[in-house]
Chain A
């Protein structure tokens, strides 16, 4: 089996982001970047399947500017075999990303494509599902467990009502949730070894996909600030506040 994992370089999830005062977007210059956490779980799942002998090759693909090489290297250090950077400096919408990935799927013909369920920058949660549509493959999103059963995958998904298990035939698309596994931190020798692994770079413009945006971003603004209220000193005081609030609520 061959697995393709798509990974995204984003503002590190620990960074407190700042909206640019002119409303054109979120400040990303001089900000720490790293692999989107959800993508890390997808890479870990692929590497674990390789270690279990289910997979011969794990290919990593990222779409973004040249520094996105860093997140591919992180994935290679975690144990993936080879990387492809689809290089573009343009900020792309999720549909364009999915179309580029569909081209890569067409060339690489993986049995399984793993992605993070969402990226912590735009929080879209689109690309896996869109790629599944464009490649006409079944999908299992928000995976918290994946089991290979013959030529099927049994995937447990985290959903609003709890969890559910579905079976999908391969080839398929799966998106990872955070409880799927615990991603490893690659040890230094692995990081050194990753630099020797193949990493191809291809301009996005070469793939013959219309990358023009469909949406116009009018502005990006900060949310309403909340500020600290008051401190109370006793349980009795707090109970009185809660009781007043609850009794004043109109029933819906």
Chain B
């Protein structure tokens, strides 16, 4: 099976999840990686292990243009795949319908060439499907796969297609910060609405900074304006699988838990010993976050972490 994989870009730079979905795609066959962005991103993509060829196209970010671009290349491939990111979610179903294919999305495990596992009901059930179609349109959850190694030097082929879109890009409102990428972070500190204010949320961010962690938030915290929308973790936000997740003042609603099921270890800080998050946490400290967080951050600062 030959695979065409859409590289995941963030503001023109190759994103960390590309190497993860490349590892997933490589389980299905030789992978050609489509980079619709700057040449530097294509150069970096060519170093990912398992990539047979990088196809470098003009920059495209809008769904209709990207779907048309992929559709133009689709004939030569059995599998067309992408990350289950907001780009992949936007583009791949559109492409699938163009090709008259039922897509299989959010894949968390590959059990055979055409057999895939995907979560449903906010991760409260796992569905195993066999894709009986001749062509497959797939998206993979980056957090469910380990990244492919680097060191490759795949050839780069330029594709001179013009990308047309009926939609027009007006502006990006990016959350700029120097904290690690949430979807691929090794440590995540998450804050809930009980921090009470954007100021209160800073306590969560301070602990995160000490640990070199990414920051997550509940929908309630984002709705309240304490954290930006792209920090939301859960059914409608990001799916994370860190080695360590520290949930601060978070109840553990099933829609939030949907985003953290892949976490290796969960630590909960909560006033309520009966909170659902405490019931599934590996370690819990029952108490007031306003009292605990400053002390915890100071204690960890003192301990001289190896990071």
Contact = CB atoms under 8 A, between A and B. Distances in A.
Contact of B63 (A129, A169, A245): A129
B219 interface: yes
B247 to A, nearest CB: 12
A70 interface: no
A216 B102 contact: no
Nearest to A156: B173
B124 A246 contact: no
Interface residues of A, number: 85
Interface stretch (A1-9, A48-56, A224-232): A224-232
Contact of B243 (A120, A214, A245): A245
A87 interface: no
A220 B127 contact: yes
Contact of B128 (A118, A132, A217): A217
B115, B174, B219, B266: which has the most chain A beta carbons within 10 Å?
B174
A26 to B, nearest CB: 5
B169 to A, nearest CB: 6
A125 interface: yes
A241 interface: yes
A165 B173 contact: yes
A130 B100 CA distance: 10
Interface of B: 10-11, 62-64, 67, 85-87, 89-98, 100-106, 115, 119-133, 147, 165-175, 183, 186-187, 211, 219, 222-223, 228-230, 235-236, 238, 243-244, 246, 254-255, 261, 265-267, 269, 273, 278-286, 292, 295-296, 299-300, 303, 305-307
Given A26-B120, A214-B131, A220-B126, A93 B102 contact: yes
Given A94-B102, A124-B105, A231-B285, A162 B243 contact: no
Interface stretch (A58-66, A71-79, A135-143, A196-204): A135-143
A236 B129 contact: no
Contact of A165 (B10, B125, B170, B286): B170
Nearest to B187: A246
Contacts of B63: 129, 132, 139, 141
A134 B86 CA distance: 21
- Per CB-CB distance, the 10 closest pairs between chain A and chain B, nearest first, are A130-B97, A229-B282, A133-B97, A129-B93, A214-B102, A239-B299, A126-B93, A226-B280, A138-B166, A162-B175
Nearest to A98: B97
A154 B127 CA distance: 37
Interface string A141-166: 11010000000001011111111111
A242 interface: yes
A123 B125 contact: no
25 contacts: A11-B121, A17-B124, A122-B120, A126-B105, A133-B97, A138-B165, A140-B167, A141-B90, A142-B86, A159-B87, A160-B87, A160-B238, A161-B175, A162-B174, A168-B168, A215-B130, A216-B129, A218-B129, A220-B126, A223-B119, A226-B280, A228-B278, A229-B283, A231-B285, A238-B267
A191 interface: no
Given A124-B105, A227-B280, A246 B126 contact: no
Given A124-B105, A138-B64, A168-B167, A239 B94 contact: no
Contacts of B284: 228-232
A93 B131 CA distance: 12
Interface in A158-183: 158-169, 177-179
B96, B169, B279, B305: which has the most chain A beta carbons within 10 Å?
B96
A26 B283 CA distance: 31
Given A141-B63, A215-B132, 12 more contacts: A17-B124, A95-B102, A129-B93, A130-B94, A133-B93, A133-B98, A160-B87, A162-B172, A217-B127, A222-B125, A235-B285, A249-B244
B67, B129, B132, B219: which has the most chain A beta carbons within 10 Å?
B129
A124 B88 CA distance: 12
A163 B261 CA distance: 25
Contacts of B267: 238, 241-242
Nearest to A242: B300
A235 B91 CA distance: 46
A247 interface: yes
A164 B169 contact: yes
Contacts of B279: 227-228
A234 B169 CA distance: 51
A17, A124, A246: which has the most chain B beta carbons within 10 Å?
A246
A243 interface: yes
A121 B120 contact: yes
B67 A133 contact: yes
A138 B278 CA distance: 45
A140 B281 CA distance: 38
B94 A162 contact: no
A6 to B, nearest CB: 14
B126 A133 contact: no
Nearest to B61: A164
A148 B170 CA distance: 14
Contacts of A125: 89, 93, 105
